[in-house]
Amino acid sequence: MSDTPSPASDKSFDVIVIGGGPGGYPAAIRAAQLGMKALCIDGWLNRDNSPSFGGTCLNAGCIPSKALLESSELFHKAGHEFAVHGIGVSTPTMDIAKMQERKMAVSKANSGGVKLLFQANKVTGLFGFGKLLGNGQVLYTAHDGKTETYTGKHIIIATGSAPVELKKIAPFDGDKVVDSWGALDFAAVPGRLGIIGAGVIGVELGSVWSRLGAKTAILEALPGFLPMVDAAIAKEALRQFTKQGLDIRLGAKVTAVAKGDKDVTVTYEQGGESKTETFDKLIVAVGRRPYTDNLGCDVAGVTLDERGFVKIDKGYKTSAAGIYAVGDVTGGAMLAHKAIEEGVVLVEQLHGEKSEVNYNAIPSVIYTSPEIAWVGLSEEQAKAAGHEVKVGSSPFAANGRARAIESIAGQVKFVSDAKTDRVLGVHMIGPYVSELCAEAVLALEFAATTQDIQLTMHGHPTLSETFHEAALAVDGHAIHSANKKR
Ligand code: FAD
Ligand code: AMP
Residue nearest to atom 5 of ligand 2 (CA): 199
pLDDT (0 to 100) of residue 266: 98
CA of 189 to the centre of ligand 1 (A): 26
257 lines ligand 2 (CB under 6 A): no
Which residue, among 331, 351, 442, 436, has the nearest Cα to 394 in the 3D structure?
436
Residue nearest to atom 26 of ligand 1 (CA): 62
Ranges of CATH 3.50.50.60 domains, the chain? 8-163+289-350, 177-286
pLDDT (0 to 100) of residue 6: 56
User: Which spans in 302-399 are helix H?
Assistant: 336-350, 379-384
Residue nearest to atom 53 of ligand 1 (CA): 160
pLDDT (0 to 100) of residue 482: 79
159 lines ligand 1 (CB under 6 A): yes
Residue nearest to atom 49 of ligand 1 (CA): 22
The stretches in the chain having pLDDT less than 70 are 1-9, 484-486
> Active site residue: 460, 468, 477, 480, which one?
460
pLDDT mean across residues, the chain: 96
Residue nearest to atom 4 of ligand 2 (CA): 287
Residue nearest to atom 13 of ligand 2 (CA): 197
pLDDT of 77-103, one tens digit each? 999 999 999 999 999 999 999 999 999
**Separation CA 278–CA 265 (nearest Å):** 4
Q: Which of 286, 335, 366 is the pocket-test mutation for ligand 2 (most atoms within 8 Å of CB)? A: 286
Give me the residues paired with residue 124 across strands. Answer: 39
Pairing of strands 177-178, 364-366: unpaired
Query: Given strand 252-259, what is the order of strands in its sheet?
Result: 252-259, 264-270, 273-279
CA of 93 to the centre of ligand 2 (A): 33
Q: Which CATH architecture has domain 177-286?
A: 3-Layer(bba) Sandwich (3.50)
Residue nearest to atom 6 of ligand 2 (CA): 286
Q: State yes or no: is 460 an active-site residue.
A: yes
pLDDT (0 to 100) of residue 1: 47
CA of 23 to the centre of ligand 1 (A): 8
Contact 42/22 with Cβ under 8 angstroms? no
Residues, the chain: 486
- Give the number of the ligand closest to the Cα of residue 288: 2
pLDDT of 445-485, one tens digit each? 999 999 999 999 999 999 999 999 999 999 999 999 877 54
Percent of the chain clearing pLDDT 90 (strictly above): 97
- Give the number of the ligand closest to the Cα of residue 200: 2
Helix (H) or strand (E) segment spanning residue 444: helix 433-445
**Class of CATH domain 364-485:** alpha beta
The closest-lying atom of ligand 1 relative to the alpha carbon of residue 19 is 7
455: exposed, middle or buried (Cβ count in 10 Å: 0-12, 13-18, 19+)? exposed
pLDDT (0 to 100) of residue 10: 85
253 lines ligand 2 (CB under 6 A): yes
Amino acid identity of residue 121, one-letter, is N
The closest-lying atom of ligand 1 relative to the alpha carbon of residue 367 is 28
335 lines ligand 1 (CB under 6 A): yes
Angstrom CA distances, 223 to 159, 219, 335, stand at 33, 11, 25
CATH number 3.50.50.60 is the correct assignment for the domain at 8-163+289-350: yes
- Give the number of the ligand closest to the Cα of residue 226: 2
433 lines ligand 1 (CB under 6 A): no
The closest-lying atom of ligand 1 relative to the alpha carbon of residue 162 is 3
Question: Please, what is the angle between helix 336-350 and helix 25-33, to 10°?
Answer: 30
pLDDT (0 to 100) of residue 212: 98
Contacts of 113 (CB under 8 A, 6+ apart): none
**Separation CA 394–CA 380 (nearest Å):** 19
CA of 127 to the centre of ligand 1 (A): 16
- The pTM (predicted TM-score) of the whole model is 0.96
- Give the number of the ligand closest to the Cα of residue 69: 1
291 lines ligand 1 (CB under 6 A): yes
- Give the number of the ligand closest to the Cα of residue 437: 1
Q: Which of 16, 49, 62 is the pocket-test mutation for ligand 1 (most atoms within 8 Å of CB)? A: 62
125 lines ligand 2 (CB under 6 A): no
User: Which spans in 34-152 are helix H?
Assistant: 55-60, 62-80, 96-121
Which residue, among 178, 241, 249, has the nearest Cα to 210 in the 3D structure?
241
**What sign does the CA torsion over 77, 80, 84, 88 have?**
positive
pLDDT (0 to 100) of residue 290: 98
363 lines ligand 1 (CB under 6 A): no
136 lines ligand 1 (CB under 6 A): no
